[in-house]
Amino acid sequence: MISAVGQMLGAIGVIISIVYLAAQIRNQNKENQRTAMNVLTTHWSDLNRTLVENPEMAVLWLRALRSFDDLDAKSKLRFGAHLGRFLRFADSLYLNFLDGTLDKRLWRGYERTIADTVAYPGFQTWWATRKHWHTDEFCALIDRHIQTRSRRFTTGTTDRFCFYLGRIGVNAWSNT
């Protein structure tokens, strides 16, 4: 009888240990996911900092989005390199979203930024020649956004930003 009670208490102890271990693993997984999201957010911010801290790059970005074909070779290379980094990172974000690492609420904000960017004709010109650099899943996402956003594209936001740049002495539409 005492042996049976001892075995039962031992079994209960094992069950409690397993439940505790499962709770610890779950908490660790949530913490790892939060850490991953924070790293992704930091990288996204760092990537966009280039446009904020470098007025010349901001002007190039706006001109290129409006018309990639109107850029000189050096400007095409600079824009393409920055856009390539931007999209490589966005591709990674999207795959993290698809596999559940990136919270869908956070992804929606990134996706809106991407959707706004792909609506511009300069982006679409560049994308047509470089989309093969990206995953099939990401290409499908971008192409879907191009189809829906292109129909609603207006230059209002760009023009307002260029007005601001003009007020601080930067000509966003010059070809220099």
pLDDT in tens, 106-138: 899 889 989 989 999 999 999 999 999 999 999
Q: Is 97 within the bounds of a domain?
A: yes
The total number of structural domains in the chain stands at 1
Instruction: For residue 155, give the DSSP letter.
Output: S
How far is Cα 14 from Cα 82, in angstroms, rounded to an integer? 55
- Find the domain containing 12 and state its range: 2-167
Instruction: Specify whether the CB–CB gap between 99 and 91 falls below 8 A.
Output: no
Ranking 24-33, 79-88, 133-142, 161-170 by mean pLDDT, the lowest is: 161-170
Instruction: Specify whether the CB–CB gap between 44 and 91 falls below 8 A.
Output: no
Q: Is 26 within the bounds of a domain?
A: yes
Q: Is 123 within the bounds of a domain?
A: yes
- Helix, strand or coil, per DSSP, at residue 136: helix
pLDDT reported for residue 162:
47
How far is Cα 146 from Cα 152, in angstroms, rounded to an integer? 10
Q: Is 38 within the bounds of a domain?
A: yes
Q: Is 174 within the bounds of a domain?
A: no
Whole-structure pTM value:
0.67
Long-range (24+ apart) CB contacts under 8 A made by 51-58 are 55/165, 55/168, 55/170, 57/82, 58/165, 58/170, 58/172
Residue 51 contacts by C-beta under 8 Å, 6 or more apart in sequence? 57, 58, 61
Q: Is 68 within the bounds of a domain?
A: yes
Computed on alpha carbons and rounded to an integer, the radius of gyration of the chain in Å comes to: 24
pLDDT reported for residue 167:
47
Q: Is 175 within the bounds of a domain?
A: no
Q: Is 176 within the bounds of a domain?
A: no
